[in-house]
Amino acid sequence: MPFYAKQRLPAEWEKQDAILIAWPHKLTDWAPQLSAAEQVFARIIREISHCESILLIVQQEKPVAQILSATGADLKNIFFHTLPCNDPWARDFGPLTILTEQGPVLLDFTFNGWGNKFDASLDNELTTKLHAAKAFGHTPLRSIPFVLEGGSIESDGEGTLLTSTACLLEKNRNPQLSQSEIETRLNLYFGCEKVLWLEQGTLQGDDTDSHIDTLARFAPNNSIIFQGCQDQKDSHFRPFATMHKQLAAFTSVHNKRYRLLELPWPQARYDQNGRRLPATYANFLIINNAVLVPTYCDPADQVALQVITRAFPHHKIIGIDCCSLIEQNGSLHCLTMQLPKGVLS
């Protein structure tokens, strides 16, 4: 039985009230490239602030506001909240919002640092603290004793969820539950009717155990945008080809096959220690009337923007250079969490 008589997890392209973001700071792993990262965060926030509101977690408001003002952000649409955090990956510690007949409800799942890989004790408390500070208006909050990150699931808004077995079945998240029991929980929490389990596809350098938002994303008109690998010499080629075949076999809750839109493969990027970085174009963010797409100073960037334009012909498509973000093993979508329309009101 679902929590409510009628509930659903909206698609990301539905109308939004705001985006939740946490600003990076010097007490995190971002310290060595903090200045470069701040410029990327400021660019992301500038673009969002001209489309909708932002809830921004900071350690100090004044210096961040100065950077954002100099970048051209609309400060009237930015609401600052001074709270301690471990890391700025809001996609994974932020609330997931379901829509019910009574209005939006925020679900606060347990965040344990991607299977206890990193300390997330402060991040796991952020949604509760934001709610206590009335950051979400009067929208009710339900705490869920289940480990789940927002980047690990995709919703089409019509009752179908897309996820990966590598992440949700990872032994340090919910080890007491089988795949069928986890699927039952997902149906309960989100009111979904169908869960699609992707069994292939992992980016080297990814800490998340194959978050779906690095691999494949729902789009309007029964579409899935997915990260392809066209380089036969790359170690990703075979598993990503298998992933493509599985996506081609998937059907929606209406029993229709998806229109598949394949993203180009960016050239391999490495950090100064020779470690491969998880560059993916699938980590885009949909906001009101626009899509922010990660780019990597790569020849494939323009092709990726064209593919996403096909999926969102009525949105403005904006490329954001995310080279400094993947140094910390994530990209644009990982840093943000949307709050659907009605949450702040």
Domain of residue 65, CATH code = 3.75.10.10
Instruction: Give one word for 342, left, alpha or beta, with left for phi > 0 and alpha for psi -120 to 50.
Output: left
Q: Tell me whether residue 237 is in a domain.
A: yes
Q: Tell me whether residue 94 is in a domain.
A: yes
Q: Tell me whether residue 209 is in a domain.
A: yes
pLDDT at residue 1 greater than cutoff 50: no
User: Alpha-carbon distance 212 to 283, whole Å?
Assistant: 9
Global pTM value: 0.97
Per the structure, the complete domain to which residue 330 belongs is given by 7-340
Quote the percentage of the chain above a pLDDT of 70.
Answer: 99
Q: Tell me whether residue 305 is in a domain.
A: yes
Say how many domains are in the chain: 1
Q: Tell me whether residue 2 is in a domain.
A: no
- Which of 243, 200, 227 minimizes the C-alpha distance to 308? 227
Q: What's the pLDDT score for residue 206?
A: 94
Each residue of 129-147: pLDDT tens digit?
999 999 999 999 999 999 9
User: Alpha-carbon distance 190 to 213, whole Å?
Assistant: 18
Q: Tell me whether residue 141 is in a domain.
A: yes
Please compute the mean of the pLDDT values over residues 26-38 and round it to a whole number. Answer: 92
pLDDT at residue 303 greater than cutoff 90: yes
Sheet holding 285-287, edge to edge: 285-287, 290-295, 316-321
Please compute the mean of the pLDDT values over residues 160-178 and round it to a whole number. Answer: 98
pLDDT at residue 307 greater than cutoff 90: yes
**Residue 196 to residues 160, 281, 315: CA-CA distances in angstroms?**
7, 21, 27
Please compute the mean of the pLDDT values over residues 186-207 and round it to a whole number. Answer: 95
Q: Tell me whether residue 31 is in a domain.
A: yes
Give the confidence band of 345 by pLDDT, cuts at 50, 70, 90: confident
- Which of 92, 90, 97 minimizes the C-alpha distance to 189? 97
Residue 342 CB coordination number (10 Å): 16
What's the mean per-residue pLDDT of the chain?
96
Q: Tell me whether residue 46 is in a domain.
A: yes
Give the confidence band of 2 by pLDDT, cuts at 50, 70, 90: low
Q: What's the pLDDT score for residue 29?
A: 87
Each residue of 198-242: pLDDT tens digit?
999 999 999 999 999 999 999 999 999 999 999 999 999 999 999
Please compute the mean of the pLDDT values over residues 276-293 and round it to a whole number. Answer: 98
Q: What's the pLDDT score for residue 261?
A: 98
pLDDT at residue 73 greater than cutoff 90: yes
